[in-house]
Amino acid sequence: MAFLAKHRKEELIALADDMGIEISTNDKKIDICKKVKDSPDFEEEFVRGCLEVIVRQREELKAQAEAVEFKAQAEAVEFKAQAEAIEFKAKQKPRN
């Protein structure tokens, strides 16, 4: 059971959901661990495998979100540079 406690609460919630275990919003991490361990479907290797998949999915989603954020920031910098270039060119034009 010690390996369960090493995981994040949201990972344990996802695991419980995958196993069909009902949890309440008031359940603490230790409560979720106990419910998983006490489940008739509990098999340590299966649970470890499920948690590996859950962690991998979370990490992939995080990486995707970071990539989207980085792209948005790069586009904002590029847009600002273009706007400054246009403004600079407008100031350089001779006025009649």
Amino acid 2: pLDDT: 84
Amino acid 96: pLDDT: 56
- Structurally, the chain folds into a number of domains equal to 1
Amino acid 93: pLDDT: 72
Which uninterrupted H or E stretch holds 80? helix 44-92
| Domain extent for 42 | 3-92
Which uninterrupted H or E stretch holds 32? helix 29-38
CB neighbour list of residue 62: distance below 8 Å, 6 or more residues apart: none
| Rounded mean pLDDT for each run of 10 residues along the chain, 96 residues in total | 90 96 96 96 95 97 97 96 90 71
Amino acid 92: pLDDT: 86
Dig out the tokens for 38 from the structure: 């006490």
